[in-house]
């Protein structure tokens, strides 16, 4: 995702809805409204904390994404909603950013896989490809 | 280092693998003192859970000594003797805060497989396929333990390795079945399966105040263990009218709580077993749910069924009508070890919970392939095989 100072937050009272939109002029091809895909994850942190500690992978969206924060009901923390505004980023990029961003906000880190002990074979090629892809896609 | 590796369906071998490393600052490296087989390992070995790669290290239930700590580990030091929960949990997400640790959002480095299969990803587990994170398991000389402040527990001096070992998974799983199954004082509880987990569930039900606890299996040695160490009544389904006995022993009501501790390779006499086995071999269903069907049928109206056995996918002929019309609560989970291990260690120290009898076969790690053959075939009255990697 492109780096820019794009995140701004409206006043966020407790229980209030915080909305942001990209403020830089549009670059890239806009995604037609009918095909935009929205992604969301809930982080077990208060809205103020998430706004103040937004991880790099979620903050560097540029005008390619729209990010909205919302207090989750029932003391569950903060909902982070991300929608693609153009085709500069993919849904997979967003999903990965939300998964790793959530982990950083909750634990301060992202769990890394252990040292590999396995051997590539014809039989496990498919599973290895799925695992490589699976380590990018999020908990969405 | 040496480790027991899955080499293919029904192929195990002890080989050399790279030593584990600290990968996150909350990790510790544990030198494994004892590691034990589990019935759920057989699903991996037999190819019923198709997410294994050649070379994967098995094992998820273990005790050991901390030999290296990550920079941010606070609760453990080199030399600590620890028992480790088989599921990996961060302690910070919403699920961990609800004490549902096996549902942790941040413990599975490979969440997409189970998210696709099940709708949402469960947490990671040691030695339990790439669907559960691909974490190398404990049948090895050393193991990396992520989120160690949350998942590793110092063992009191009064508790031996042999006893504490089973707090890692079996005792936690069994206790969870009785606890989250809702056992109350005065209840009649039935447990299907008298392996380690079933015996622990039965013992937990006794300690939680159940009036009667009845355990069901076909192996007399396991039933005798359950009677002696758990304080349970026993039924052998190859000789006894289980349904009739459960009804009679509960005054005609049916058991209040039914705990299934058998899993996806369930055995049962008669046509039902042959039907399930054939469909499973033809991959028309992934799991054999005979024990769950029986538990649902036996449970009293408005009662509770807790599924402790490990299942992976889909079953046929599930008694949804009985479940719905009898108003049952059916619940299941992988074990929330972090929730129970401290309490279990206390009970072990007070001799309220005894587990050493479960380790019927103890051997060096080099003999582990033989150990799994003995365990799978239940030869020589094997209940669990314990390996000593160091």
What pLDDT digit, counting tens, does each position of B165-174 carry? 999 999 999 9
Which residues does A contribute to its contact with B (CB < 8 Å)? 42, 44, 76-77, 99, 102-103, 106-107, 109-119, 121, 123-124, 127-128, 130-131, 133-140
Which range in A15-19, B117-121, B325-329 is most confidently predicted, on average pLDDT?
B325-329
**Is the CB of residue B199 less than 8 Å from the CB of residue B223?**
no
Residue pair B300/B256 in contact (Cβ under 8 Å)? The answer is: yes
CB A12 within 8 A of CB A51: yes
Name the residue in chain B with its Cα closest to that of A130: B113
Planar angle of CA B93, B98, B99, nearest 5 degrees: 100
B51 touches chain A (CB under 8 A): yes
CB contact under 8 A, A76 and B94: yes
What is the C-alpha end-to-end distance of chain A, expressed in Å? 19
Does A131 score more than 60 pLDDT?
A: yes
Res. A30 pLDDT band, cuts 50 70 90: low
DSSP character string of A25-36: PP-SPBPPGGG-
pLDDT tens track for B207-223: 999 999 999 999 999 99
* pLDDT of amino acid A4: 24
* Res. B352: pLDDT tops 50: yes
Contact check, Cβ <8 Å, B110/A42: no
Q: What is the pLDDT of residues B294-330, one digit of tens each?
A: 999 999 999 999 999 888 888 888 999 999 999 999 9
pTM: 0.90
Query: What mean pLDDT, rounded, does chain B reach?
Result: 95
Residue B273's pLDDT is what? 74
* CB spacing of A44 vs B26 below 8 angstroms: no
Query: Do residues B213 and B338 make contact, with C-beta atoms less than 8 angstroms apart?
Result: no
Residue A80 backbone zone (phi > 0: left; psi -120 to 50: alpha; other: beta) = beta
Which has more pLDDT, B205 or A37?
B205
**Using one digit for the tens of pLDDT, what is the confidence trace for A64-76?**
888 999 999 999 9
Min CA distance, B105 vs chain A (Å)? 7
pLDDT on residue A17: 28
Task: Name the minimum distance, in Å, from the CA of B135 to any CA of chain A.
Answer: 6
Report, as an integer, the average pLDDT of B228-246. Answer: 97
Question: Is B130 within 8 Å of chain A by CB?
Answer: yes
According to the model, what pLDDT value does residue B286 have? 65
* ipTM for the assembly: 0.92
The overall average pLDDT reported for chain A is 74
Encode pLDDT of B79-114 as tens digits.
Answer: 999 999 999 999 999 999 999 999 999 999 999 889
B275-299 burial, b at 16+ Cβ within 10 Å, e below that, comes to ebbebbeeeebbbbbbbbbbbbbbb
Q: How many CB atoms sit inside 10 A of residue A1's CB?
A: 18
CA dist B2 and B35 (Å) reads 13
Give the residue-averaged pLDDT of B173-191. Answer: 98
Judged by CB atoms closer than 8 Å, whether chains meet at A133 and B112 is answered as yes
Ranges of H-type helices in B183-219? 196-207
Which chain B residues touch A134 with a CB distance below 8 Å? 110-113, 130
Cβ proximity of B356 and B163 under 8 Å: yes
pLDDT for the residue numbered A132: 78
Mean pLDDT, residues B240-263 taken together: 97
CB A41 within 8 A of CB A78: no
What is the per-residue pLDDT for B351? 98
Between A48-52, A133-137, B254-258, the lowest mean confidence (pLDDT) is in A133-137
Quick: pLDDT tens for B252-272.
Answer: 999 999 999 998 766 777 777
Picking from B94, B123, B133, B147 by the largest number of A CB atoms within 10 A of its own CB, the best residue to mutate is B94
Q: Å from B86 to nearest chain A CA?
A: 15
- Packing angle of the helix pair B290-298, B242-249 (nearest 10 deg): 30
Mean pLDDT of B337-348: 98
Q: What is the band of A140 on the pLDDT scale with cuts at 50, 70, 90?
A: very low
* CB within 8 Å: A118 and B115: no
What 3-state class would DSSP assign to B339?
helix
- For A118, the token pair is 């396995």
B312, B43 contact by CB (below 8 A)? yes
A64–chain B nearest CA distance, Å: 24
pLDDT: which is higher, A90 or A78: A78
Q: Does the distance separating the beta carbons of B113 and A107 come in below 8 Å?
A: no
What pLDDT shows up at residue A9?
28
A131 or B128, which is more confident: B128
The beta-carbon neighbor of B24 closest among A111, A115, A124 is A111
């Amino acid at each position: 995702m492109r780096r820019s100072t794009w995140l701004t937050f409206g006043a966020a009272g407790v229980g209030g809805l915080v909305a942001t939109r990209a403020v830089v002029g549009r670059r890239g091809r806009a995604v037609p409204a009918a095909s935009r895909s929205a992604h969301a994850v809930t982080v077990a942190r208060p809205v103020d904390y998430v706004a103040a500690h937004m991880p790099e992978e979620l903050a560097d969206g540029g005008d390619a994404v729209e990010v909205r924060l919302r207090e989750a009901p029932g003391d569950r923390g903060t909902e982070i909603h991300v929608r693609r505004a153009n085709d500069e980023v993919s849904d997979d990029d967003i999903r990965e950013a939300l998964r790793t961003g959530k982990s950083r906000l909750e634990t301060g880190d992202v769990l890394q896989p252990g040292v590999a002990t396995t051997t590539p074979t014809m039989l496990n090629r498919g599973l290895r490809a799925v695992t490589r892809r699976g380590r990018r896609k999020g908990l969405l | 280092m040496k480790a027991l590796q899955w080499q293919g369906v029904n192929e195990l071998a002890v080989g050399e693998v790279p030593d584990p490393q600290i990968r996150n600052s909350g990790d510790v490296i544990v030198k494994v003192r004892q590691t034990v087989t589990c019935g759920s390992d057989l699903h991996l070995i037999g190819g019923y859970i198709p997410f294994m790669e050649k070379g994967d290290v098995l094992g998820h239930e273990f005790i050991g000594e901390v030999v290296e700590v990550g920079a941010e580990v606070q609760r453990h030091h080199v030399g600590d003797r620890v028992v480790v929960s088989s599921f990996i949990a961060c302690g910070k997400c919403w699920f961990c805060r609800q004490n549902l640790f096996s549902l942790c959002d941040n413990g599975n480095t490979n969440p997409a497989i189970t998210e696709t299969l099940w709708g949402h990803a469960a947490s990671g587990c040691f030695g339990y396929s790439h669907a559960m994170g691909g974490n190398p398991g404990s049948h090895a000389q050393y193991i990396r333990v992520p989120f160690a402040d949350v998942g590793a527990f110092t063992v009191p001096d009064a508790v031996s390795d042999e006893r504490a070992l089973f707090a890692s998974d079996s005792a936690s799983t069994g206790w969870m079945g009785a606890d989250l199954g809702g056992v109350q004082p005065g209840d009649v509880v039935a447990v299907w399966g008298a392996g380690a987990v079933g015996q622990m569930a039965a013992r937990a039900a006794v300690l939680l105040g159940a009036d009667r606890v009845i355990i069901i299996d076909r192996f007399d040695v396991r039933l005798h263990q359950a009677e002696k160490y758990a304080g349970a009544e026993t039924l052998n389904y190859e000789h006894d009218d289980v349904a009739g006995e459960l009804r009679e022993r509960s005054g005609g009501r049916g058991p209040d709580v039914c705990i299934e501790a058998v899993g996806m390779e369930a055995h049962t006499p008669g046509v039902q077993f042959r039907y399930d086995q054939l469909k499973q071999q033809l991959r028309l269903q992934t799991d054999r749910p005979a024990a769950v069907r029986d538990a649902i049928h036996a449970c009293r109206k408005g009662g509770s069924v807790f599924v402790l056995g490990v299942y992976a996918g889909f079953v046929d002929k599930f008694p949804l009508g009985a479940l719905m019309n009898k108003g049952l609560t059916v619940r299941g989970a992988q074990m929330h070890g972090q929730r129970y291990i401290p309490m279990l260690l206390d009970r072990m120290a007070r001799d309220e919970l005894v587990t050493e009898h479960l380790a019927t076969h103890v051997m060096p790690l080099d003999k582990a392939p033989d150990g799994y053959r003995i365990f799978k075939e239940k030869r020589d009255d094997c209940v669990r095989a314990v390996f000593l990697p160091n």
